[in-house]
Amino acid sequence: MQKWMIYAKKADFAEQSRRYHISPILARIIRNREITGDIEIAGYLNGKIGDLASPWIMKDMEKAVNIIKEKIERGNRIRVIGDYDIDGICSTHILRDAMISLGALADYKIPERIRDGYGINEKLIHDAYQDGVDTIITCDNGIAAVEAIKYARELGMTVIVTDHHNVPYSLHDGVRTEVLVEADAVINPKQNGCKYPFKELCGAGVAFRLVQALWESMGMDPEEALKYLEFAAIATIGDVVSLTGENRIIAKEGLKRLNNTQNKGIMELIRANELTDKEIKAYHIGFILGPCLNAGGRLSDAGLACDLLGQPDEYLAQQGARELRKLNDTRKIMTEEASQEAVRLMEGYGPYRDMVLVVHLPECHESIAGIVAGRLKEKYNRPAFVLTGSGEYVKGSGRSVEAYDMHVGLTECRDLLMKFGGHPMAAGLSLKRENVQLFRERLNHRCNLTEMDLKKKLWLDMVLPFEYVDERLIEELELLEPFGMGNEKPVFVEKDVGIERIRVMGESGNVLKFEMKNGSNHGITAVAFDRNREWLNFLLEKFGSDEIEKAKRGVPNDMQLSIAYYPKVNEYRNKREVQLVIMNMI
């Protein structure tokens, strides 16, 4: 059962409503998102690309730009080395395409997940050297590749690292010391000494800022560099970084461009997923298009997605988009099977009682370990690691909760690990199989988590009676988009709600439709998706089968509860209806 928490933040909402021409409801939601002060509120509502900080503030930006310009002038061969997830794919496309547009002799390489593992390594460097590559530019990786980059420098190669991951550090007597790669230039807003004000860019966001600096330095039209903004937006949303500050601007402005894209690969991917007549929003990237772009790197070759983004031929783009859609469909089946097995193991031998979950699935495809870990995290509201492989070594991914910094947890176990990296909320790792149990024990011994830390909470923006919910409000709420981590979709609560009727709907019976009335006798339709069995069991326990049967027949009953919801407009057969989507009931 979730614990309901209603924000109680204070501000002069009437004054903000007048000043920014928004409703007091919207003003309250913005305050709940910790957006305060005139500059911050104006930026949140009306921020544009021109409001981003100068890319030149980033440490080593000038150095990197000068190196790239010199290499292009000399005709030196440049290779972009990315990563196999959506952020790595988009940042690789941005840099590879930009280099070619600037006249560089450039290509790209994305590590093969199972053969190469994450990020740049000595084999990729050796291959580049054999291919006559002079300069390597990493994107969405490289900040932790100390030995690999040292090897490249020993071979006489030039290396520019662009990354957004946490910089590794050593820990001695409780003191952290940054361990920075010895590249020719390192662009990462999280490194010590970088004065760039926004630290949470994704890898493609960092790549986009580099391209903007290159365009400016070479006297090119800055508007032309904005053609890469839609790819930075896809990565920003798909990589689940915080949609606040500059990330919000990149995502919001990038979505506008995405909905008018001229990129044949994206156009065909939209068509392959039957979204041609839809306005593409953050949801479509997070749950439909993004998983397709990720599918190549999970089950085949991430180059499929990168090639799609750079594909000028419509027919080949169509074929590539369809292939990624098929791979994603296969990935869904594999994920469901692995998730069921993970839950069975959790329930069977009890590690779900741990504060930090560690489950080993020998037969699970390593590419879906992170997704399965995410499902375990959602089900048990605990940090979760899923490890795969049955040989001497295992690999895995973790997904965390707000109360637990996963990267810190792994750093404290680094002597047990072969390799690791990531963020506070997500990480990847490899270790010897014989150390799995010790790894689990140490994580839990040092995590300092309590049951209160892991109590599920549902944050509610405000009590909002049904009579305030109309199309005008729903349209105004769109000003808050795109929604995501750090800028969550608003959730409202209404108390003393009577259930007039219940219907089970949907092709598989996975939708519950309610006719409801509040204490003021104002009626409205509400729907609950996917969790119909859970909701029906809740109502059965709370009110009994007789009352549920009355509600199903639409006759008077004694069912009354409080609901957490967000509103939307449902369109069906040219009919528009204001509808509530139920998030929770008590």
What is the per-residue pLDDT across 120-170, written as a single tens digit (0 to 9) for each?
999 999 999 999 999 999 999 999 999 999 999 999 999 999 999 999 888
Q: How many C-beta neighbours within 10 Å does residue 12 have?
A: 12
The structure tokens listed for 277 are: 């007549």
Q: What is the pLDDT of residue 455?
A: 87
Beta-strand relationship, 417-422 and 426-432: antiparallel
DSSP string, 13-28: HHHHHHHHT--HHHHH
pLDDT at residue 85 is higher than 60: yes
State which amino acid sits at residue 109.
Answer: K
Query: Residues 458, 584: contact at Cβ < 8 Å?
Result: yes
CATH class (in words) of the domain with range 350-446 = alpha beta
- 304 Cβ contact list (under 8 Å, min separation 6): 296, 320, 323, 324, 327
Secondary structure in 3-state letters for 329-380: HHHHHHHHHHHHHHHHHHHHHCHHHCCCEEEEECCCCHHHHHHHHHHHHHHH
The structure tokens listed for 576 are: 């528009």
Statement: 51-222 belongs to CATH 3.90.650.10: no
Segment 432-445 shows an average pLDDT of 96
- DSSP structural state of residue 487: B
Query: pLDDT tens-digit profile of 223-251?
Result: 999 999 999 999 999 998 999 999 999 99
Report the Cα–Cα distance between both ends of the chain, in Å, rounded: 9
Separation of alpha carbons 209 and 141, rounded Å: 16
Q: Which of 202-211, 219-228, 448-457 has the lowest average pLDDT?
A: 448-457
**By three-state DSSP, how is residue 186 classified?**
strand
The structure tokens listed for 354 are: 């741990």
Q: How many C-beta neighbours within 10 Å does residue 306 have?
A: 28
Query: Residues 232, 222: contact at Cβ < 8 Å?
Result: no
State which amino acid sits at residue 293.
Answer: L
**By three-state DSSP, how is residue 553 classified?**
helix
Q: What is the pLDDT of residue 574?
A: 81
pLDDT at residue 569 is higher than 70: yes
Work out the widest C-alpha separation in the chain, in whole angstroms. Answer: 82
Alpha helices in 76-170 (DSSP H): 86-101, 113-116, 122-130, 146-154
Output Rg (C-alpha) for the chain, integer angstroms.
25
Q: What is the pLDDT of residue 352?
A: 59
With CA atoms as reference, report the closest residue to 540 among 525, 529, 550, 530: 550
- DSSP structural state of residue 118: S
Does this model's pTM top 0.85? My answer is yes
The structure tokens listed for 571 are: 């369109």
Give the Å distances, CA to CA, from 350 to 340, 359, 364, 372.
15, 11, 20, 18
- 404 Cβ contact list (under 8 Å, min separation 6): 356, 383, 424, 447, 449, 453
Q: Side-chain half-sphere of 473: how many Cα atoms within 13 Å?
A: 20
CATH code 3.10.310.30 region(s) in the chain: 350-446
Backbone angles phi, psi at 229, to 5 degrees: -65, -40
The structure tokens listed for 188 are: 């990462």
Alpha-carbon dihedral of residues 349, 351, 353, 355, nearest 10 degrees? 180
Query: pLDDT tens-digit profile of 300-315?
Result: 999 999 999 999 999 9
Q: Can you name the residues that pair with 359 across neighbouring β-strands? A: 386
Separation of alpha carbons 211 and 384, rounded Å: 37
Query: pLDDT tens-digit profile of 95-106?
Result: 999 999 999 999
- 293 Cβ contact list (under 8 Å, min separation 6): 86, 89, 90, 234, 238, 269, 305, 308, 324
> Is the peptide bond preceding residue 291 cis, with omega within 30 degrees of 0?
no
CATH code 2.40.50.460 region(s) in the chain: 3-36+457-585
With CA atoms as reference, report the closest residue to 303 among 106, 113, 120: 113
pLDDT at residue 351 is higher than 60: no
The structure tokens listed for 245 are: 């500050």
CATH code 3.90.1640.30 region(s) in the chain: 51-222
Query: Residues 189, 199: contact at Cβ < 8 Å?
Result: yes
Query: Which comes out higher in pLDDT, residue 78 or 177?
Result: 78
Confidence of residue 48 (pLDDT cuts 50, 70, 90): very high
Q: Which of 2-11, 52-61, 313-322 has the lowest average pLDDT?
A: 2-11
Beta-strand relationship, 575-585 and 523-529: parallel
Segment 218-226 shows an average pLDDT of 96
Q: How many C-beta neighbours within 10 Å does residue 488 have?
A: 16
pLDDT at residue 476 is higher than 70: yes
CA angle 244, 48, 218 (to 5 degrees): 110
Statement: 3-36+457-585 belongs to CATH 2.40.50.460: yes
Q: What is the pLDDT of residue 190?
A: 97
Separation of alpha carbons 234 and 253, rounded Å: 11
Separation of alpha carbons 494 and 471, rounded Å: 18
Separation of alpha carbons 59 and 20, rounded Å: 36
pLDDT at residue 297 is higher than 60: yes
Query: pLDDT tens-digit profile of 527-555?
Result: 998 777 888 889 999 999 999 999 999 99
